[in-house]
Structure 1
């Protein structure tokens, strides 16, 4: 069984590029792997649930790809089961590029980043748009009660493949809460050293 992502992405053109640049043999292992990586495991579920943003690619009717940044409180991208993820889609700039693309082509690709720890998860799937009027219970599962932005629709994605990506070239970046935790530790160490000096 090939890795599901290789089955999707290793097209004839990609294989030709691998042959041209000398990596075809190294990449054959993905086509012979026993773990298809099309179901979300505990490690992937934990990673997905901790993210506060991701990048989403869709394809327009004219064949052009479109990449959009999606953000929200940590955990806004929900793991619904081992093959399904989804998120509440909030009102934005009302261009509806991603939504319109998904109406014509359900295929979607996501990249989830953990810059601080230099980790990256890629997900391929098929998305469908859900509305509260039609599936209120499903949309309710996607909502975050603490984030009071108006939900226009839900996006539910059936996962076709996932893969962890190489950490090389990921520049560490930190969120404000991550920096605050580091500063708290430094302040505690400084206070401890000051106390030691005062008691001498």
Structure 2
């Protein structure tokens, strides 16, 4: 578990809950002592995270309203629509949806977001924290070109740029194993081929 994650997630009340429930000692080293030179562990995406993100076709994004209520929204698109621009920056094209604009309104008041990306078939889950900004497509031509897949038939309303603050690979315990249609077809076809041979 990286230090950047602990710095954000382990608030005083979380630390108190860890103490009460007996897990505080295991996590204590994450917040103690000075970091070595260089980036804080868990604050920059590496090749493992970039590859995982590139394979996803959906994620969940949480924002916070000005009244303090969290809001979680599913975001979907073609595989790889959430782009890793560099070790600290993500971006995606926001497609037209139900037109409630709750996430957009929340980000306008508080730019903090949290994302959960899950590979149900392999039992892997990545949590990300960052700060989001919304960009108009016409005002960000180069980013639009990087984020918009012309083969995906959905209107793009805007672009979302996320500056990564921290990430953590989540425990897979209790994560159901689910497969999409393409994965099931591949499994069935591989089984058919195995039976032929």
Normalising by the residue count of structure 2, what TM-score does the alignment of the two structures yield? 0.93
Name 1:105's counterpart in structure 2.
110
**What CA distance in whole angstroms lies between the structure 2 residues aligned with 1:189 and 1:124?**
43
Aligned pair count reads 191
2:187 is equivalent to residue 188 of structure 1: no
2:103 is equivalent to residue 137 of structure 1: no
2:21 is equivalent to residue 21 of structure 1: yes
Any unmatched runs of 5+ in structure 1? 193-200
Name 1:96's counterpart in structure 2.
101
**What CA distance in whole angstroms lies between the structure 2 residues aligned with 1:132 and 1:88?**
9
- Runs of 4+ that moved beyond 2 A: 29-35, 189-192
Considering only aligned residues, what root-mean-square deviation do their CA atoms show, in Å? 1.3
Cα deviations by residue, 1:36-70 (Å, 9 ceiling, x for unpaired): 21001000000000001101000011100000011
**What CA distance in whole angstroms lies between the structure 2 residues aligned with 1:188 and 1:138?**
43
2:125 is equivalent to residue 156 of structure 1: no
**What CA distance in whole angstroms lies between the structure 2 residues aligned with 1:132 and 1:167?**
37
Larger Rg: 1
SS in 1 for 2:139: coil
**What CA distance in whole angstroms lies between the structure 2 residues aligned with 1:146 and 1:80?**
20
SS in 2 for 1:156: strand
